[in-house]
Every structure is written in C-alpha cells, then in structure tokens.
Amino acid sequence: LAPGMAAPPPARCCNSVGIVAFLGLLFWAPEPTWGDGAAAGTTGSSSSSSARCSVLLAAHVESSGVAVSGSDDSDEAGPELRSEVHSMGLDEAVGCAEAALGLGSAGSPAGVAKLIEQVARHPDCVVELATKSEAQTRCAQKWYKIAIHALTVANKMRAAEAMWHRATSLQTGSPAARIAWPSPLQTPTVWIDALQSKKTWDCAHWPFVQRLEALTPQILEEVLEVASSFSTAYPYLARGGTWQNLFLFRGHEWNEELCTALPLTCRLLRPELPSKPGVPFSTQFNEEVVIFRSEPGASVGAHCGSSNGVVNLHLTLTGAEGTSLRIGEEDFPLTDRKAVCFQDSFFHAVEHRGTAKAERISLVIRVMHPELSLEAYGSAPRTDVVEDLKNWDMVGELEREVARLREAYRKLVSDTAFPVANMSDSVAGSCAVTGAAPCDVR
C-alpha cells in the first residue's frame, strides 16, 4: 500500500466460509471495526448466542417457520424480532445476520431482510452515522444496503422501496449523520454527497476507451487464449446459466501472471490506472479490471457497487447479440466493440437470453468518478483506505505515480528488445539533424 493508506481490517470470523465470501464479494469494502461498544455489549457465551439466534431464525426467517416477522413484506419487523436483535451485543447480532444470509433458499427473503434491518438499527450500529464520515463504511448504511439488496434480488421491489424510505429517514440527532441515498435505485455502502449522479456517462471522459474499442479483435484474441482461467462469478447473483470472471487488476495490484498471457491488454491499461492520480481512494476496490464471460441463458440479478465514486467502463468484446444491460429501470442492448459507461452505484443486471447464438465476453474497467477529488470528501477526516485526508500528500502521490510509469516504460522497452544495431543509423541521423550532443546509441 502507498504511504498514508490503511491496511484493510481482518475479515470477521464466522461459521461459514461461504458467508464471508458472500459479504466480501458483494460489498467490495473492507469489513469495518465495529468499535469497543460492540465487543463490550456482546452477551452470553458463543453457544448460548448461537442457540438464541437459531430460535430467532426458525421463528422469523426460515421459510418453514411459523411466522415471518411483520404482517407484510413492506413492513418493518415486529416488536419481538426487534427486541431480540437489539438485546444482543452487536457482534452477536451481526453473526446472526450472517447466519440468515447463509440460509439460502431455506430463508424467506423478507424475513432475512427484516432481521438484517434490525442489525442496521441496532444502537451500536446506528451510532456510526455520527462517529464516522460519509467517506467511510458505516455500520447502519452497510447493513441497510445488504437488506435492500436481498429484497431487490428477490424482486420484492415494493418492500425494497419501503425499506429505503426507512433507511433515509433514520434519525440520529444530527442532520449530517444520515443515509443520503437519493432513490431506491442507488444504495451503495459509501455515498459521497458531492458527486453528481448519472446512470450513464459519456465514455469520451476516458479517451483510452476509444483505443480499446479499436483494438477489440486483438484483445479478444488474447482473452480466448486464457479461457480456461475463468472462474464462477458471484454465484449469489447468478439466477441461471453460466457467468464467469477473470480479474486483471484488483486491490491496487496487477495479476502479473495473467498480464504475461495478455501483454497487449495490460500494456494498454497499466498507464490508465489509477485514473485520477493524486486523488485518495474511498474504498479498497475503487478501481479494478475484470473480464466477464457468460453463455446464452445466463441471468445476473440486480446489484450495485460499494460506492457512488466508481464508474464502470463496460466494453463488449464479442457475443453482444441477445444480451442487454439493465441500469436502474432502463435496458441497454450491448454492441460488440462498443463501450457503455455507467455509474456503479445504480442497481444493474445482465440478461443473456437463451436465444442468443454465442458466448458473451466483456472487458470492464472500474474507474474513479470524474468529479471525485480531495475537495469532494469535504470535511471527512479519512476514508476506508486513507487514514488521514487532512495531511494527504498529493505531491508525493503524483511523484510515486511518475516513478511507476517510468518503471513500466523501462520494462516495456526491455521486453520489446529493440535491435540496437538496426536503430543506430536512424538515431545517429536524428542526432546529426538536431545537433543533439552527446548522441548515445548504446
């Protein structure tokens, strides 16, 4: 990590690796430290906590339970569930929410969401709206996002909208300590209020996209050579069919092994990330490069990213026919060799219809919002990644970026291995014309 950047806190421990993976992949934000209040408030032994949660899940969450809390999917949980969750310490309540998410098809989506909402409204969770800035992952906002996402994936849109209203109406005693989502179509974990919201952006904001479009055949040729490296993408979002991914750049690191196999693709993209050198990252995964592959019949459920400070540059390399991207409430048919640039904070989904004739492969570059800047963070003291915004060394960051680009250029020259003997005459001639001295052609 660069100086001034905080290492992400260790992942929470829980009973199921699948639950940890679910949360980590879904929300693209390092797991927050809940604070001393959470640990101090935890009651009972782990076995008694587990027993209490099991009773709660059986009665209010599991599809086979005697009741689903609340009289309607759109209602908040009833007093019994609310009281039980709020009587737990926050660690125990979070663990119970994770167990509810792990139920899968055995859980009622409305019941899961209602339990999670009560974690978001837990006093030790709500307090983070006041103790942390909008530029950080805050407990209540994160768990409300998870609850709304659970309802959206289940296509319970009326219930999701009702929950959004409750989230944005949550009172903490301070006008600034609130969840500022503008609509149910945008519920990211981190919301920077100063940034403009647009479903789609003009891809001309990022000139390198045009070059990627022009070189699509060459990029695709490289990708097809590593087809065996694809792995299942976010299984909790796939509603059917095959959907796979392959990460080239993630967590500020390039996959050097893949870049060796995809030299042109990485050579085109390395100089472009970070897209706004000198601007602090808001989340650990602010910028990424990922290749997606789907087969006819694949359906990817609606989901939104970790922050409204990210724009997805989605370039379809092949297989666009019969595939559409839904952003908010609008469908965008995909086109081969053409990019769609959209804000990651909007709920979005992909439909690769069964009538399509070929696999679809897309290159997605996640970049910073065009308006994201140090000033956009306002009075926020830090982000999830940068510990101290007040003393952010922009000049130092730019100097490190220049050094990185120089090193990348040296490697490029070395890898290209220009034959010096063949270039000596032309270089020497150039020196003679310009009068440059000394003229070193070694």
27-41, 48-62, 355-369: least confidently modelled range? 27-41
Contacts of 401 (CB under 8 A, 6+ apart): 274, 277, 278
Determine the 3-state secondary structure of 14 from DSSP.
Answer: coil
pLDDT of 31: 36
Location of structure tokens 């959206």: 152
pLDDT tens digits, residue range 396-421?
999 999 998 888 888 878 877 554 34
pLDDT of 435: 41
Distance CA 280, CA 168 (A): 27
Contacts of 426 (CB under 8 A, 6+ apart): none
pLDDT at 206 over 50: yes
pTM of the entire predicted model:
0.81
pLDDT of 16: 32
Q: How does residue 436 score in pLDDT terms, banded at 50, 70 and 90?
A: very low
Residue range 18-46: average pLDDT? 35
pLDDT tens digits, residue range 73-129?
889 999 999 999 999 999 999 999 999 998 888 889 999 999 999 999 999 999 999
Mean pLDDT (the chain) is 83
Residue range 180-195: average pLDDT? 96
Q: What 3 state SS string does 244-303 have?
A: EEEEEEECCEECHHHHHHCHHHHHHHHHHCCCCCCCCCCCCCCCEEEEEEECCCCEEEEE
pLDDT at 8 over 90: no
pLDDT at 304 over 80: yes
pLDDT of 162: 97
Q: Is the dihedral of CA 171, 177, 183, 189 positive or negative?
A: negative
Q: How does residue 240 score in pLDDT terms, banded at 50, 70 and 90?
A: confident
Whether 299 and 238 have beta carbons less than 8 Å apart is answered as: yes
pLDDT at 391 over 70: yes
pLDDT of 49: 52
CB atoms within 10 A of CB 68: 22
pLDDT of 410: 85
